[in-house]
Structure 1
Amino acid sequence: MPYDERLFERMLDALERKEGWSEKNMYGGRVCVVNGHAFVGAVDGGLIALCPEEALKKHLELKHCTPFAQNGKEQPGWVKVSMDALKTAKQLSRWVDASFVHASALPPAKAKPKARKK
């Protein structure tokens, strides 16, 4: 399923005053990255958000959150938030802001070596 372009535009609006992040295609959608860590994205008709370990269990107890899985494999630290929980700018900003703060506090990610062509 393609990503929701309107949701991604709303995410960009929520990030307008933040610095040091970029955009990239990932997980079949569009994500935002800081310090080499993807932290929030518009993927598969919803929002994915990177969460601190201590908050993950609490988030997964919410009715609008599920574990985020890619190709059938759960992605550690990620939740998928349904559009029902993102109707207002304030609701969306809570997720975007919390994920940005969390990813910004992580040590910079090391670049993965590119696969060699045969």
Structure 2
Amino acid sequence: MAYDEGLAQRLREALGDLPDVVEKRMFGGLACMWRGNMLVGVMGDDLIARVGPDGMADALKQPGARVFDFTGRPMKGWVVVAGEAVGEDADLADWIDRARDYVEPMPPK
């Protein structure tokens, strides 16, 4: 599966000042790891964001967000956000911030 290279580039730019970010190919797309923990990524034309179990309810109320159900089993704490819903840089930054809020307290791997 190919992924939206334009969205991937926007993620790279938005994460540019964050130390210890590494890209990995996952889910047929691209995952951005922060200190060894998955943070955000691109799958197809969509953003994937790790918001944590406590952030799910609010995240799913946001435009374009849905449960990340890649294998037929929903991934707890993850959402998929339609590419159109992150077309503006401010919207993309909001999702990155949500993911950072969850991942930041995690110990590095």
Same fold, judged at TM 0.5 (above): yes
Partner in structure 2 of residue 5 of structure 1: 5
Give the 5 Å matches for 1:61-100.
61-100=61-100
- Deviation of 1:71 after TM superposition, in Å, equals 2.0
Please, what is the CA RMSD of the aligned residues? 1.4
The alignment covers a number of residue pairs equal to 109
* Per-residue deviation, 1:15: 0.5
- In the TM superposition, residue 55 of structure 1 has moved relative to its aligned partner by 1.6
Give the letter for the 1:26 counterpart.
M
Superposition map of 1:24-35 within 5 A:
24-35=24-35
| Equivalent AA in structure 2 for residue 85 of structure 1 | A
Please give the secondary structure, in 1, of the residue aligned with 2:2.
Answer: coil
| Secondary structure of 2:77's aligned partner | strand
Q: How far 1:41 moved relative to its partner? A: 0.3
**Cα distance change of structure 1 residues 58 and 101 upon mapping to structure 2, 3 Å threshold:** closer
Q: Would the aligned equivalents of 1:31 and 1:39 in 2 still touch at CA under 8 Å? A: yes
Displacement of 1:37 in angstroms is 1.3
Deviations 1:65-100 (A, max 9, x none): 100112222111100001221111111111113213
| Distance (whole Å) between structure 1 residues aligned to residue 94 and residue 73 of structure 2 | 26
Is 1:102 the counterpart of 2:102 in the alignment?
Answer: yes
| Shift in Å, 1:7 | 0.3
1:102 CA drift (Å): 2.0
Q: Which aligned runs of 4 or more in structure 1 are off by greater than 6 angstroms?
A: none
Moved more, 61-70 or 13-22: 61-70
% identical equivalent positions: 30
**Amino acid corresponding to residue 24 of structure 1 in structure 2:** K
Structure 2: gaps of 5 or more residues: none
Q: 2:15 aligns to what?
A: 15
Q: Secondary structure of 1:73's partner?
A: coil
Q: Does the aligned pair in 2 maintain the 1:50–1:99 contact within 8 Å? A: yes
Amino acid of the structure 2 residue aligned with 1:3: Y
CA–CA separation in structure 2 for the residues paired with 1:17 and 1:101: 16
Q: Larger Cα Rg: Structure 1 or Structure 2? A: 1
Following TM superposition, by how much is the alpha carbon of 1:60 offset from its aligned partner in structure 2, in angstroms?
1.2
